[in-house]
Chains A and B, each alone.
Chain A
Amino acid sequence: MKMISILKKTDAQVERKWDARFIKDKIFTGFIIIFSLITISPIVLIISKLISKGYKQLNWSFFTETTPNTYQAMLAVNLGEIIPGGVLNGITGTILMVLIASIMAIPIGIMVGIFLYENQTKKYAVIVKDITDILQGVPSIVLGLISYFWVVKYITNGFSALAGSFALFIMMLPLIIRSTEETFKMIPVSIKEAGFALGAPYHKIILKVMIPSGLSGLITGILLAISRVVGETAPLMLTALGSMVVNLNIEKPTSALPLLIWEFYNDPNMVDLIWATSLLLMMLVLGLNLISKYIISKRNL
């Protein structure tokens, strides 16, 4: 022990500390730390802003009543009260549309993911994979436009929850496909081969061996895909449009939390509601993210 402490304090090392290279290194590291702190500062600023401005509105009626009209909101603001009503129509709309999009995207996404995993070397599968990547990069507003031309114009003949779901479905699809493929790539081939060796048919191996052993990965991928589309506004503006009442008819215009934020933003009387709605949306997105992180950490144990 003594030897080491003596070695630690040789003259050369004391000198080295003041060497220009080491000073430069310290300065460089300092900059990296400062820039990293700047990078993460928006998340702290945004969340604290949402909480400090939005918590007042988060009461029971916020979750159980529909949006007030401008006049009610104006009266309340003038009297210095909190705005009556809530965002129930947005909550139900978001749940409805994400649910329909998930019902379409999860089975198709997992099946295409399995197809890509099974045919990794085939040219056709590589093309499908590239197209999936391209789909993933398409701006969401373009997907909204597509859903407008396909669903709003030809299927529901008007703005509808179904059109909104379809846009979200196209957004979710590439995310689920890629996460499914990546998950299956991590499962040892021997598990699958053991199934084949027992003479199990192909579909049974998929359903009873591969999907159960990759379940946590699949769920994580699905949750992350949902958290990505839950806050989407642009495609819903062109498809679901919005509604003042709770609507569960998929052929009718429907509201959603992000759409409500956009409406409140455009209405000066509703400003107070913006923050609470954004806070709710953020909690939803971050909650989904945290659950998926938790599942990943469990799997790694």
Chain B
Amino acid sequence: MLNGERITKIVLFLTSLIIIFIASGMVLTLMEGAIPAFKEFGFKFIISSDWNPTDGRESYGALPFIIGTIATSIIALLICLPLAFSTSLFIGEIYRGTKLASFIGMMVDMLAGIPSIVYGLWGFYVLRPWVVDMGFNDQGYGVFTAGLILAIMVIPYATSISVEMIKMVQNDLKEAAYSLGATRKDVIFSVILPNARSGIFTSYILAFGRAVGETMAVTMLIGNSNIIPKGLFDTGNTMASLIANQFGEADGLKLSSLVAIALLLFFITGLINGFGKLLIKKL
């Protein structure tokens, strides 16, 4: 009955439970920690823009951070779009298979390896002065600067998946188009894009998901003001960055509010990634 093979299978099954345990425990812990905040503020927690830790008048709302997160991530996506698109065509089509393409590919991989905090430093000491020099704002902090650094950080993710998708387009189709006298631009727009469209789209969704959860680089550049940013160059804060900033001195209702924000962040990234994975499965 209980021979070696069965034991091995049972052991493997039991270790797989660790994943279930960690994931469900994570959700339960976040929910439990978030209960006081949601009890106190109810649904208003999500739509209130008030973040006031003063004793006695404590009031916490997540809206500024939800907006800050979405704003920085959208800016990152918009900047990333043309760059990742071009780079993926460079590697996956125009210079496909050449030494040059693998060199560029290696550089893109290296970009993916740089730790978030090093991006933050570089953004602080190099990008921020540029933003100041261009006259956008005095300090250089803000939603735009944070979005810019996020764009550089997520480009590798969008690029590497896009390259795979572009390479998957069948050669016959491309050759048929070339034989009809199409230029490379024609082939890219009328053969490759229609075929790899959903895959490329997915790569941007996953890149967006990464931008949403980034912490350190954003913390160092967004200016950390707990208000809804009014413009591109206004300061703000994101959900992840707020947790990193305020966790140290948090307890009671404030801690619970931070956990509630972590729970929201967990669900938002889960939804974005789940959607992206669903699209990939359909390909």
A residues with a Cβ closer than 8 A to B are 21-22, 24-25, 28-29, 31-36, 38-40, 42-46, 49-50, 108, 111-112, 114-116, 118, 124-125, 128, 130-142, 145-146, 148-150, 170, 173, 177, 201-203, 206, 227, 230-234, 237-238, 258, 261-262, 265, 274, 278, 281-282, 285-286, 289, 293
Contacts and interface: CB of A to CB of B under 8 A. Distances in A.
Contacts of B265: 139, 141-142
B215 interface: yes
Given A111-B11, A202-B8, A261-B118, A137 B87 contact: no
26 contacts: A25-B183, A29-B184, A29-B185, A36-B83, A36-B86, A36-B104, A39-B111, A43-B114, A46-B119, A112-B18, A112-B19, A135-B19, A135-B23, A137-B209, A139-B265, A141-B243, A142-B30, A145-B259, A146-B26, A202-B8, A230-B115, A234-B240, A237-B247, A265-B120, A286-B113, A289-B109
A32 B94 contact: yes
A278 B114 CA distance: 10
Contacts of A293: 106, 109
A137 B26 CA distance: 13
A139 B213 contact: yes
A24 B122 CA distance: 37
A141 B262 contact: yes
Nearest to A262: B117
B84 interface: yes
B: contact size bracket: 35 or more
Nearest to B22: A170
A42 B83 CA distance: 12
Interface of B: 3-5, 7-9, 11-13, 15-16, 18-20, 22-23, 25-26, 29-30, 33, 82-87, 89-91, 94, 104, 106-111, 113-122, 124-126, 152, 155, 159, 183-186, 188, 209-210, 212-216, 220, 240, 243-244, 247-248, 258-259, 262, 265-266, 269-270, 272-274, 277
Contacts of A261: 117-118, 121
A131 B109 contact: no
